[in-house]
Structure 1
Amino acid sequence: MTPVRVTVWGENRHEKIEEHVRAIYPDGMHETIADGVRENLRDGAVVTTATLDDPEHGLTEEALRATDVLVWWGHAAHDEVADEVVERVHRHVLSGMGLVVLHSGHWSKIFIRLMGTSCTLRWRSEHDRELIWTVDPTHPIAEGVPHPLVIDSDEMYGEFFDIPAPDELVFISTFSGGEAFRSGCTFRRGYGRIFYFRPGDQDYPTYHHRDVRRVIANGVRWARTDRPERAAPVLLHHETGEFFTGTVYAGPLG
């Protein structure tokens, strides 16, 4: 199989304006996440990065066509993502591009659109210990992941998390305050596979964590489509007796 083509998209705002974040991620969170994918998938991946300030946010039609799986991290500037870029990403996901959404990307325009809900949740940023429990050890995303995966300090997310029921629940998290959260969820939209993974607030070195990096890489590998080519689902009109042909239905008058 050819290497999976991965684009890691990062907002790259906190790293520019907050010294303590820049100290943790001197090359940007997106580069640290990308390095984790390279480290785990090795020759099985070709990884590039893009940021909010790139022309068209680095998510041009050409860039998305050359991306098998898009990894998304955003937080402070969701509203700055252009609607036309969101529409473009949405179309590519429905056509078969994989999407891995990390942490506060739950409130990104693209994730909200794909979920069709508010995607709101409870949160607290007080250096909480997080235990990530594998609830589906047979899932490919859980391969090689310790049970539990321990993160000594990160932001807390808690239920209720306003998302549709996941197609598969791979991980749940518990925190030092007693909260629980569905922290590893998969969804399918059109021909695209989506994985949401909770850890990764900018104030903590979470994306340097060996096992967090492994989960993200596993998610990338899982989200790659096995379809031979990217194409949007098509509604066909069939006459009586037609089982395999049909014509494209262009609309109520088409």
Structure 2
Amino acid sequence: MTRVTVWNENRHEQKNPVVSDIYPKGIHGAIADFLQAENYEVKTATLDESDHGLTDEVLQNTDVLVWWGHLAHHEVQDEIVAKVKERVLDGMGLIVLHSGHFSKIFKELMGTSCDLKWREADDRERIWVVDPSHPIADGIGEYIELEKEEMYGEHFDIPAPDELIFTSWFEGGEVFRSGCVFKRGNGRIFYFRPGHETYPTYHNEQVQQVIKNAVAYVKPVSRKRPVYGNAKSLETISEK
């Protein structure tokens, strides 16, 4: 069974009654609920726990880490970020949601600023499937339409994705690469754009389906990380 840890800084839920009304169990709780319904083994972790809930034991027993953050990226300890990065390079899957684009771990793995345009104006969002054969798009129609969402617009300062699955259009006219897969070491990373805290986005069944599909896609493969450095020859090298 795939073991999933859903990480959330869990700050908006404590500060904003609009968010706590939409997500009474927190954003992490809402995501954990629909992933558990898919028969994944799911745990949650939050910023204010010891080691942000991401102890060595937790990370070693996580196949896929789901990450949501916004207000407190700077509070995430660098040593925890380094441990998460090593687990990704070893093969752990990472799903970064919405404002997690500015998280330390995503920026570290991308090597860029990960900056973008944004606007909170109740834009309608249409998330177009641009790779209909991709497993993460399984069960999704031509697009997902969200009545209200925060706008993210290009240019999105990320490396060119290894796989681009979704592109968003917003009512104000902007577009955005909203579903991107990146490969780092043995691991796969999926960035998925929607999920502003004051909208019920994670209650949308199609958004839930994408995240369920993404867990299955980024989970680890059964192989060890390659060995690097000086190497002995596999065959006898003839004398010249």
Partner Cα distance (2:227, 2:70) in 1: 34
Match of 2:109 among 109, 114, 126: 114
CA deviation map 1:3-48 (0-9, x unaligned): 1100000010000011111111111000101112223x23xx1011
Match of 1:154 among 126, 149, 152: 149
The equivalent of 2:88 in structure 1 is 93
8 Å CA contact retained: 1:95, 1:233:
no
Partner Cα distance (1:197, 1:234) in 2: 31
1:96-245 pair list within 5 angstroms: 96-228=91-223, 231-239=224-232, 241-243=233-235
The equivalent of 1:20 in structure 2 is 18
C-alpha deviation, 1:243, in angstroms: 4.7
Tell me the TM-score normalized by structure 2: 0.96
Q: Secondary structure at the match of 1:169?
A: strand
- Identity among equivalent pairs (%): 57
8 Å CA contact retained: 1:154, 1:204:
yes
Partner Cα distance (1:103, 1:4) in 2: 23
1:46-65 pair list within 5 angstroms: 46-65=41-60
8 Å CA contact retained: 1:99, 1:193:
yes
C-alpha deviation, 1:238, in angstroms: 2.6
Change (3 A) 1:243 1:11: farther
Partner Cα distance (1:238, 1:7) in 2: 37
Q: Secondary structure at the match of 1:237?
A: coil
RMSD: 1.2
Check if 1:6 corresponds to 2:4: yes
Unmatched tracts of structure 1, length 5 or more: 245-254
Structure 1 stretches (4+) deviating beyond 4 angstroms?
none
Q: Secondary structure at the match of 1:138?
A: coil
Matched residues, number: 236
C-alpha deviation, 1:232, in angstroms: 4.0
Tell me the TM-score normalized by structure 1: 0.90
Letter in 2 for 1:195: F
Check if 1:76 corresponds to 2:71: yes
Partner Cα distance (1:16, 1:190) in 2: 36
